Amino acid sequence: AAAPPTFAFGAPGLVPGASVFGGPGLVPAPAFPGASVFGAPMVFPSGLFGGAPPPKRRRVERPPPPERSERLKRLVGRLCSPGVQVGEPAPVEVVPAKLNQRALQKVLTTHVPGIATFLYREQPGSSAMKFLISAYMSGLQAYQNSPLHGHLTSLLRLVVHEAKEEKPGAVGRLREVAEAFKDCQAVQARVIERAGLKARGEAVDFRERVVALVGEYKGVALKMVADEEVRARGGPNSHVDPPHYENRLISDFGEMVGLPKADIRRAGLDTHADQRFPRLSERARKKRSRRLTALFDIGALLRAFAAEVNGFDEKSAGDSLARLFLDWVDENMTNKHVVFDEATCTKVEVNNELATAILEVLFLGETGAPAEETFREHKICDLFTPRDPIPDPPGFEGFGETDGESESNDGLAQASDESVSGSYEDGGETDDEEEDDSEE
């Protein structure tokens, strides 16, 4: 059999036809009479009402995690912990609906090319734009009776209003939201909240900006874990689909690895995730947490961080990561000009080695750079103002000790644990142990 597609990060890619948000393009299956979400069929698992039983969970090959130095293991262990977590967003003020249906449709067709042809889950006749307009007017139906209903509705309206006014970055955010309406409401809510919070904007410092960047890469690793689990369960299909399984994982072990609190709150309201997938046991949560930590792409994060800060110029906004970085340098580095290019002293030039040390100081309180490692003939270990090490978050012990197996306590799975490499069935458990993998 041909090898499955892979991500740039080295983990198995999603099956052909999967959407950019991780949800498969599905052909609707027979629906239970009367069940609907925005008028689209609500699909129930086969076998629930007397049909054929679901297929046996299949064996899936998972790549081993990349080799890392002890120094990077320590850094990644801290990044994938509750100590590096985006907090709860501040309450959102109520945003009234300023546009009628006709005016809203004009905004959408003007700024989102091809939106008139967008279909909800590729179902003929199910216009994604129609659902977006309904959500703008009265909110997402799936969250109608939840604490997030008004929150998400106001954020969606904010995204639309700013795009109408053509504020910087607003049209791009509206297009992201419009694309999300091709998928289920779990994906819609996720993208609305992300885009809306960006549109609202809040005063943040350098550390908070970096924590948000780290959160994005945790999200990538989470999708990889969910993809592996979904394929092991015979998916993706109308019942075992990535968006809702991601919410199951986020709800069960999001706090353990420091996923954004807004994501955890939203995932906890996903009734489909609760109905389709049992809660993970404590042992299973630790195993999935180790797997996410192992798949976390520290190399990609360091390159992204360096690219962000190196993009500083006279047009950089005051709250941009690049501008906030210079404020942080002024307070935390002994040589405040070493980050600038030597020729003109007007451009920021940070390489991966210095980026690693910066993240270590930011989240560990000290750098692990050896004495011989230099940046422009300066010892990296001497470039930072001395400070006390930052301890682990209260109660955090890593995910190393489980079932009598000794693993490192930095949160990284080791080759001795079957949950990291090789093939597995149902996340590494045998059929006889399957009941230990979830809570009743």
Residues 6+ apart with CB under 8 A from 392: 78, 81, 83
**Least-confidence region, from 54-68, 105-119, 288-302, 343-357:** 54-68
What percent of the chain clears pLDDT 90, i.e. is strictly above it? Answer: 59
φ, ψ dihedrals at 296, nearest 5°: -60, 125
The pTM is what?
0.70
pLDDT in tens, 387-403: 888 888 776 665 443 33
Q: Please give the structure tokens belonging to residue 361.
A: 């100081």
Pairing relation of β-strands 422-425 and 59-62? antiparallel
φ, ψ dihedrals at 409, nearest 5°: -95, 20
pLDDT in tens, 71-87: 999 999 999 999 999 99
Tell me, what's the pLDDT at 410? 33
Residues 6+ apart with CB under 8 A from 110: none
Tell me, what's the pLDDT at 201? 77
Kindly report each contact of residues 92-95 with a partner whose C-beta sits within 8 Å and lies 24 or more positions away, as own/partner.
92/150, 92/151, 92/154, 92/155, 92/158, 92/196, 92/200, 93/154, 94/150, 94/154, 95/153, 95/154, 95/155, 95/157, 95/158, 95/161
pLDDT in tens, 17-65: 433 334 444 333 333 333 333 344 434 343 333 444 444 556 666 666 6
277, 295, 299: which is closest to 287 by C-alpha? 295
Partners of residue 333 on adjacent β-strands: 384
More reliable by pLDDT, 92 or 53: 92
Q: Please give the structure tokens belonging to residue 390.
A: 């930052």
- DSSP reduced 3-state for 40: strand
Query: Contact 375/354 with Cβ under 8 angstroms?
Result: yes
CA 354 to chain centre: 26
Query: Contact 87/94 with Cβ under 8 angstroms?
Result: no
CA 232 to chain centre: 21
Query: Contact 308/321 with Cβ under 8 angstroms?
Result: yes
Whether pLDDT at 240 is above 50: yes
Residues 6+ apart with CB under 8 A from 149: 139, 140, 143
| Crossing angle between the packed helical segments 170-180 and 128-138, to the nearest 10 degrees | 110
| Alpha helix segments (H runs only) across 1-90 | 70-79
